[in-house]
Amino acid sequence: MPVPDSATFARMLDAAQQGDYALASINVTSSNTINAALAAFAETKTDGIIQFSTGGGEHASGPVKNGAFGAQALAEYTHQIASKLPVYVAVTTDHCVPGKVDSFLRPLIAESTTRVAAGRAPLFNMHMFDGSELSMKANMETAKELLALLAPLGIVLEVEAGVVGGEEDGIDNSDADHSKLFTTPEDMVFVYESLHAIGRFTLAATFGNVHGVYKPGNVKLEPTILRDGQEAVVAKYGPSAKLDLVFHGGSGSLISEIHETLEYGVVKMNVDTDCQYWFSRPIVDHMLKNYDGLLRIDGEMGDKKVYDPRSYLKKAEASMKQRVIQASTELRSVGKTLYPA
């Protein structure tokens, strides 16, 4: 049962919160990238998360070109492979903007509803609604509606308050209002007040983080924003109200900044861009070194050993696996699986 049930996923979040570590949440788009993440978690006895974006789901659906259908297929594949591994791997979706709620989130919620009604576990552990393009009031109104659907199924809702800068998977906030890159304490209190009575949720609060690729030190983060927001929530509602926070846009972040966020309640960090690079680099290397074997030149037949996709995809998986291990190490979650020995 390494895709955790609802109670076990709750324990995973609680353990991260109490232990000042975070679960690496890896964006994937294919069976190969899923395998890379699963191999990393299994090899290091580390619990983690696999997640699918709307674009990743659409890519995986092939000729169907349906993000929800592709995400469902990827989730089912993850359930099958993870069932043989000695760690817990949760399954979630990533940024879903308001315009894609009906086409992406609702079909996936309907699938889990059908499964739960039949006595099975939901397909997903968590879904993300990214209402950051809306006013805070409208953002939370939609979030409340979605959480009311998810809570009876045992599914957690991830929400975002503030805007993660940069561009990823078709969501471009490169020109976002600078003030929106920083969630206020009042925003965090409002999220808590809006959602806590309905069901479990996590919050992607923004503190200058951006999507995309940046050299270390080029992203100017202010992690103390998370501290101040947590203090505001706890001051008003007590220690039990401490929020489960999510770190988006971590590429280029200093290790010291990552570790600081863990002290302020970050329990999940999304990792996407760097994994894409680490997956792609060995493929490029393979192509450049084996050019004459990959192509049928001057009447020759090439070398099947090097144009067999497995020859370079294995290298890609192995490389991405190392990046996932690095992420888990930086997040201090390596070896901390809750899976019984």
Would you please indicate which residues are annotated as catalytic (active-site) residues? 94
C-alpha 69/C-alpha 4 separation (Å) is: 22
φ, ψ dihedrals at 27, nearest 5°: -70, 130
The residues pairing with 271 across neighbouring beta strands, listed in sequence order, are 26
CA distance readout (Å), 189 to 79, 228, 235: 35, 11, 10
Question: Two tokens at 215?
Answer: 């050299």
Q: Which residue has the tokens 């203090």?
A: 231
Q: Residue 75 corresponds to which amino acid?
A: A
Q: Residue 271: CA atoms inside 13 Å, Cβ hemisphere, count?
A: 32
Rg, the chain, Cα only: 20
Neighbours of 230 (CB within 10 A): 20
CA distance readout (Å), 264 to 17, 217, 226, 258, 313: 9, 20, 6, 10, 38
